[in-house]
Amino acid sequence: MAIYDTPAVIETIQNVTGYKKIAAIGYSQGSNIFFILFSLLPKYASIIKPFISWAPPAIIGNMTSSARLLVPLYPILQKEKGKFSFSDIRVRSIISPTCGLSETLCAEALLSFFGESDKMNLSRLEVYLNFFPSPISNTDLSHFAQLYERKNFYRFDYHDEEQNLKAYNKKEAPLYPLENIPKKTKIYTIHGNTDALVTNSDATKFIKKLRSIGLKVNDYKVPSEKFNHFDFMVGENAGKLVYDKTIQILDKFYNKKS
């Protein structure tokens, strides 16, 4: 996604619009994709201006989400990636009846995954479950499990010396070379106070890591006592708390009046 798909999207936008500079917003895994892109193919960092990162799960070693309970399963997922897919599990078929029986129990299940929130519209639970969880590859899940266990931003570990050597010229999977990101890259991060997937401590650790290698990172903590990972997309006040701030950042670079 970072090495092939995103560059193709960027270049297509440039060709169609004629613009040389492009703004980008990455949410959750979308944030990781851009940090990986910038570190492995730094030339694209000079095109993206600015990059706005919502809840980047690059470092998730202190994750409190119930998702961490699935981490022990990742070796199985990784080994059986060609025979079994997590998307084959119809989670909605299990959760939806529960929601029909107890709206509160259903909400608690979601909150245990994403974190505490007072912005969830309970009347929209069926709509949320129509889209979540969405299909995801076993390799994706395995990589996130590895990030949780290793507590740092490592590349995917094949758990096979020959494959690691072929991919990285090393027997063990290395860290992403964030130091390759050009120092002039315009980076803005936004994270929530009760995000169970990207906790405050992990978000702070990642921002400090970026700053320690000379990158200027403008960090914005959502001004709300409770704002979780899911609230970025469906929180009732996401417009005022996140989107308005995002637009303000974009206006600094692309406001026609300036």
What is the per-residue DSSP string for 197-241? Answer: SS-HHHHHHHHHHHHHTT--EEEEE-SSS---TTHHHH-TTHIII
Strands (E), the chain: 22-27, 48-54, 187-191, 217-221
Return the number of other C-beta atoms located less than 10 Å from residue 2's C-beta: 18
Mean pLDDT of 108-124: 88
* DSSP-derived pairing of the beta strands 48-54 and 187-191: parallel
CA–CA distances in Å: residue 29 to residues 2, 6, 86, 220: 10, 13, 17, 18
Task: Give the integer Cα–Cα distance in Å for 141 and 124.
Answer: 27
Predicted TM-score (pTM) of the model is 0.91
Let me know: does 129 contact 136? Beta carbons within 8 Å: no
Banded model confidence at residue 81, pLDDT cuts 50, 70, 90: low
> pLDDT at position 238, please?
96
The dotted CATH code for 5-254 is 3.40.50.1820
Which one-letter DSSP state was computed for residue 114? H
> pLDDT at position 258, please?
44
pLDDT in tens, 4-34: 999 999 999 999 999 999 999 999 999 999 9
Q: What is the mean pLDDT of the chain?
A: 90
* Contacts for 226 with CB less than 8 Å, ≥ 6 apart: 116, 117, 118, 119, 193, 194
Banded model confidence at residue 209, pLDDT cuts 50, 70, 90: very high
Whether the predicted pLDDT of 83 surpasses 60:
no
Return the number of other C-beta atoms located less than 10 Å from residue 172's C-beta: 12
Q: Name the amino acid, one letter, at 252.
A: K
> pLDDT at position 123, please?
81
